[in-house]
């Protein structure tokens, strides 16, 4: 009887210890992740940053009253424009650069629209090993007060030859890889 009792106790003890260990590991991991997130490397303007699928170097940012292709921006809006060199370092043509750069200190900005400088037109695919000068444009409400220094966060992506659902190859987000701070100048109207 006592033997059986002690066995039951032992099982309970083990289960409790396991649960505590799991909780501790999970907590430790999330603390670690938080710390990692706080430690996003800061890079200078015009420094090339490799972010998995893309290599990007952002050179400057301005507030503009017109789109890079000459079109007017929507009424009641202004445009945050960032100029950069963008290169596709993956193995195939792609236009999935929409999540590459995020505004870290401007809230509620939608995804940017990209323009190809060479054509002064909307950017479509970027082909591997063919870097191009491009501009990213975020339209924000004209009334929004903007910081004097714009912080852009570059988001990485990781290639998985077999994903977990279909065992198909694909790119998956892997967190921020760098942050670049740029003075936000008011552009001179052309």
**Residues at the interface with another protein (CB under 8 A):** 91-93, 116, 118-119, 121, 124-125, 127-132, 162, 166-169
State the nearest-atom distance from the C-beta of 86 to another protein, in Å.
Answer: 12
State the nearest-atom distance from the C-beta of 77 to another protein, in Å.
Answer: 26
CA distance 175 to 129: 24
Residue 104 to residues 40, 90, 127, 178, 179, Cα–Cα distance (Å):
12, 26, 28, 11, 8
Task: Kindly write down the DSSP assignment for every residue of 103-120, as one continuous string.
Answer: ESSSTT--PPEEEETTTT
Smaller CB separation from another protein, 117 or 151: 117
Beta-carbon contacts of residue 121 (< 8 Å; ≥ 6 apart): 69, 115
Smaller CB separation from another protein, 131 or 187: 131
Smaller CB separation from another protein, 64 or 87: 87
Smaller CB separation from another protein, 90 or 105: 90
Query: 82 with 187: CB under 8 angstroms?
Result: no
State the nearest-atom distance from the C-beta of 115 to another protein, in Å.
Answer: 12
State the nearest-atom distance from the C-beta of 132 to another protein, in Å.
Answer: 7
């Amino acid at each position: 009887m006592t033997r059986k009792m002690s066995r039951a106790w032992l099982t309970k003890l083990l289960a409790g210890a396991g649960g505590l260990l799991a909780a501790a590991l999970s907590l430790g991991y999330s603390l670690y992740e938080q710390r990692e997130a706080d430690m996003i490397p800061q890079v200078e303007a015009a420094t090339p940053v490799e972010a998995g699928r893309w290599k990007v170097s952002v050179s400057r940012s301005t507030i503009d009253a017109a789109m890079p292709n000459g079109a007017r921006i929507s009424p009641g809006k202004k445009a945050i424009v960032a100029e950069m060199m963008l290169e596709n370092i993956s193995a195939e043509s792609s236009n999935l650069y929409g999540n590459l750069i995020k505004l870290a200190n401007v809230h509620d900005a939608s995804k940017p629209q990209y323009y190809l400088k060479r054509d002064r037109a909307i950017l479509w695919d970027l082909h591997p090993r063919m870097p191009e000068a491009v501009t990213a444009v975020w339209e924000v409400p004209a009334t929004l007060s903007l910081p004097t220094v714009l912080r852009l966060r570059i988001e990485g992506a990781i290639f998985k030859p077999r994903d977990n659902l279909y065992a198909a190859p694909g790119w998956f987000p892997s967190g921020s890889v760098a942050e670049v701070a740029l003075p936000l100048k008011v552009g001179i109207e052309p």
